[in-house]
Amino acid sequence: MDEIFFISVVFTVVFIFIVIICLIGKSVKTVTEYKRLIVFRFGKYRRTVGPGIVFILPLIEVSEEVDLRIKTLDIARQEIITKDNIPITIDTSVFYKVINPEYAKTKIENFMRAVLNYTQGALRDVIGNMELDEVLTQRERISSEIRKVVDEETREWGVQITQIKIQQIELPENMKRAMAVQAEKEREKRASIIASEGELEASKNIAEAGRILSETPSAIQLRTLQTIQDISQEPSQKIVIFLPTDLGNLLDKLK
């Protein structure tokens, strides 16, 4: 009997020791730098602890981890009607982080899902009040307005929207073709304007040269001689030039 009692006592002590070790193991936690530990005592929020080694009262307190790093949420492509009734498809990404771990755990069940829904709604509201040209040229303004709207709501949950990026805007095929034709017409218009400006400048230069030549008769004659010299280098062509009557007098003067 004494041996049985002794063995029972040993087993009991060992069991209690193992239970104590397990409780201590569960009570001591290591929290990394980018996380915080939310501690609840008997179901009520007690404190936010971390980073480092923290102690939780066994059987009395429970804890949940919250990640404080910036996260990316890709919003599925959605079709939106602009103010001028043109359907467009938009891909968007949201960057957010938890700034109040207590609120993120106690104010809302799934803050990631809430951020997604609010962003989709804000995207429809903002773009629905803009025309297509504004949407295509003012992405930064759209992102800023959406971020402002969503951030006002999510701050109550301890979540901050750091940035919203519009990744891609896709237009209907008929709109793409119409814009391509418009862009081609614009290029042709610019080319015509540049060509006409060049012709205008050339005509001004020709007019100025004509005025100078008209004021200096000898200049006309020198220009004629220069023309003769230039065309003389083409032996395969026959060119008839009518020379001014006083060209001989000019040549005598040049001797």
Separation of alpha carbons 92 and 135, rounded Å:
13
> Per-residue confidence at 241, pLDDT binned at 50, 70, 90?
low
Asked whether the predicted pLDDT for residue 230 surpasses 70, the reply is no
User: How much is the average pLDDT of 99-125?
Assistant: 88
- All domains of the chain, ordered by start, with CATH? 2-67 (no CATH), 71-175 (3.30.479.30)
For residue range 143-195, list pLDDT tens digits in order: 888 888 888 888 888 999 999 888 888 887 776 666 666 666 677 777 777 77
Q: What single string gives the DSSP state of each residue in 210-244?
A: HHHHHH-HHHHHHHHHHHHHHHTT-TT--------
> Per-residue confidence at 88, pLDDT binned at 50, 70, 90?
confident
> Per-residue confidence at 223, pLDDT binned at 50, 70, 90?
low
Instruction: Report CA torsion sign: 41, 43, 48, 54.
Output: positive
Stated pTM of the model: 0.61
- The residue among 18 and 170 whose pLDDT is bigger is 170
Q: What single string gives the DSSP state of each residue in 128-188?
A: HTS-HHHHHH-HHHHHHHHHHHHHHHHGGGTEEEEEEEEEEEE--HHHHHHHHHHHHHHHH
Return the residue matching tokens 């009520």.
Answer: 44
